[in-house]
Amino acid sequence: MVNQNAYQLGANRSCIRDLFEYGRQRAAIVGEENVYDYSLGNPSIPSPPQVDEAVRQILLDTPTLQVHGYTSAVGDLATQQAIADDLNQRYNAGCRAEDFFIGCGAAPELVAVFRALAVPEGELLAIAPYFPEYKPFAEEAGLIFKVVPPDVPEFQIKLDAVEAMLTPNTQAVLVNSPNNPSGVVYTRQTLRALAELLTRKSEEYGHPIYIISDEPYRELAYGVEVPFVPTIYPHTIVCYSYSKSLSLPGERIGYVYVPQAAADSREIYAAVAGAARSAGHVCAPSLWQKVIARCAQLRPDLDAYDRNRRALYEGLTEMGYEMAKPDGAFYLFIKAPGGDANAFSEKAKKRDLLLVPGDGFGCPGYFRICYCVSYDMIQRSLPVFRALLND
Ligand code: PLP
């Protein structure tokens, strides 16, 4: 006998993975250059050269046993300190080394935070459109997962809908900015209004409602501010990842930050560490912790993404496609012509153009494009987008 929830999750690939695998099969038949695969968010710019250089240096100047040994369960102090110093320099955030739990990327960090906040009847509010994995993460952790409807067409946050969905059981509101899949960056004004609402409702209910800020795309913004949420709302728990910012998704490294100013900060921190422990997820990769200790201040060179973003946004808008302004991450979230994103995506698939329908993101009627692809592929795909409009 097997656990049915686990079985269903393992046996059924996500729609994104399905499309990606389909693209690989088609490429083998029609040729790589004839498939326009916008399915998967795998970074397409290399890590900054200092990252590889740091790996080389660490291997040269650190005893092998130290490079590959267990670190402290919550992470190396040097790594925690380097991250705290970087955030303090950028945001004057008052971070301390001991506020950081070094984790294996945003996914397991979110799981740990959800488990840490999962009290009986506890509810988690996600804002549509949202990263599809949130739902299984939250439900497996024991939280009731609720979705706030999207704020179309800007994809900021519908505050009246948030307010209507808050209850005395709400443990946290989950935000993700820059956003996957919309590419939208929540403005300071939006976040301030959310903070005011949560402050008021926390007082009314007599317990804090946390913001969980999922920030793998924090450094991927094109000329707009990405506010650091804990400086706007102290009861914020940050899940950060170097998967996208330093193009290291295969290395599994990131952190949870529980600000000192958050309500019950040390209890939350201990519960995150405990939740990670009971999930068997402690001691993030030692080599990569050492790399981050040396590279926490590095930022990606976004020129290639920005060029792709502009080519698609301008090209598609001019054809008549509608989308919110994509100021961050590497996604566009586009209104499906005709209104049915599944039908449109199927039609596109017949032309080997792979687009992810928005249903899984809690937002039917839209499809997602992931533009961490070659500029050349974008240029070749534009006529296909045009042809689809004329179909
Ligand atoms: N959160 C969002 C919004 C994401 O898009 C992703 C990955 O694509 C993750 C979390 C998981 O990131 P990681 O690779 O750090 O586990």
- The residue whose C-alpha atom lies closest to atom 2 belonging to ligand 1 is 131
Instruction: Identify the band that residue 85 occupies on the pLDDT scale cut at 50, 70 and 90.
Output: very high
- 34 CA distance to ligand 1 middle (Å): 28
Ramachandran category for residue 249: left, alpha or beta (phi over 0 → left; psi -120 to 50 → alpha) = alpha
Q: Is the CB of 41 under 6 A from ligand 1?
A: yes
- The residue whose C-alpha atom lies closest to atom 12 belonging to ligand 1 is 106
Whether 384 shows a pLDDT value over 90: the answer reads yes
Q: What number is the average pLDDT over the span 224-240?
A: 98
Tokens linked to 125: 């509010």
Q: What number is the average pLDDT over the span 179-194?
A: 98
Q: Is the CB of 79 under 6 A from ligand 1?
A: no
pLDDT at residue number 248? 97
Q: Is the CB of 105 under 6 A from ligand 1?
A: yes
Task: Out of 104, 241, 330, 363, give the residue to mutate to test ligand 1, the one with the largest number of ligand atoms within 8 Å of its CB.
Answer: 241
Q: What number is the average pLDDT over the span 283-290?
A: 97
pLDDT per residue over 1-16, tens digit each?
A: 999 989 998 998 888 8
- End-to-end, the C-alpha distance of the chain in Å comes to 49
Q: Is the CB of 246 under 6 A from ligand 1?
A: no
Nearest one of 383, 378, 375, 317 to 153, comparing CA atoms: 317
Nearest one of 354, 382, 353, 305 to 44, comparing CA atoms: 305
Q: Is the CB of 111 under 6 A from ligand 1?
A: no
Q: What number is the average pLDDT over the span 342-365?
A: 97
The dihedrals phi and psi of 211, each to the nearest 5 degrees, come to -100, 130
Tokens linked to 80: 């925690």
Percent of the chain, pLDDT > 70?
A: 100
**Torsion sign over Cα 80, 83, 84, 85:** positive
The one-letter amino acid code at 108 reads P
Least confident of 8-22, 83-97, 231-245, 257-271: 8-22
pLDDT per residue over 317-340, tens digit each?
A: 999 999 999 999 999 999 999 999
Nearest one of 152, 104, 164 to 362, comparing CA atoms: 152
Atom of ligand 1 nearest to the CA of 110: 10
pLDDT per residue over 120-176, tens digit each?
A: 999 999 999 999 999 999 999 999 999 999 999 999 999 999 999 999 999 999 999
Whether 94 shows a pLDDT value over 90: the answer reads yes
Percent of the chain, pLDDT > 90?
A: 95
Q: Which residue has the higher pLDDT, 216 or 282?
A: 216
Q: How far apart are the C-alpha atoms of 26 and 157, rounded to whole Å?
A: 38
pLDDT at residue number 311? 98
pLDDT at residue number 391? 80
- 58 CA distance to ligand 1 middle (Å): 27
pLDDT at residue number 13? 80
pLDDT at residue number 262? 98
pLDDT per residue over 195-227, tens digit each?
A: 999 999 999 999 999 999 999 999 999 999 999
SS3 assignment for the chain:
CCCHHHHHHHHCCCHHHHHHHHHHHHHHHHCHHHCEECCCCCCCCCCCHHHHHHHHHHHHHCCHHHHHCCCCCCCCHHHHHHHHHHHHHHHCCCCCHHHEEEECCHHHHHHHHHHHHCCCCCEEEEECCCCCCHHHHHHHHCCEEEEECCECCCCECCHHHHHHHCCCCEEEEEECCCCCCCCCCCCHHHHHHHHHHHHHHHHHHCCCCEEEEECCCCCCECCCCCCCHHHCCCCEEEEEEHHHHCCCCCCCCEEEECCCCCCCHHHHHHHHHHHHHHCCCCCCCHHHHHHHHHHCCCCCCCHHHHHHHHHHHHHHHHHCCCECCCCECCEEEEECCCCCHHHHHHHHHHCCEECEEHHHHCCCCEEEEECCCCHHHHHHHHHHHHHHHHC
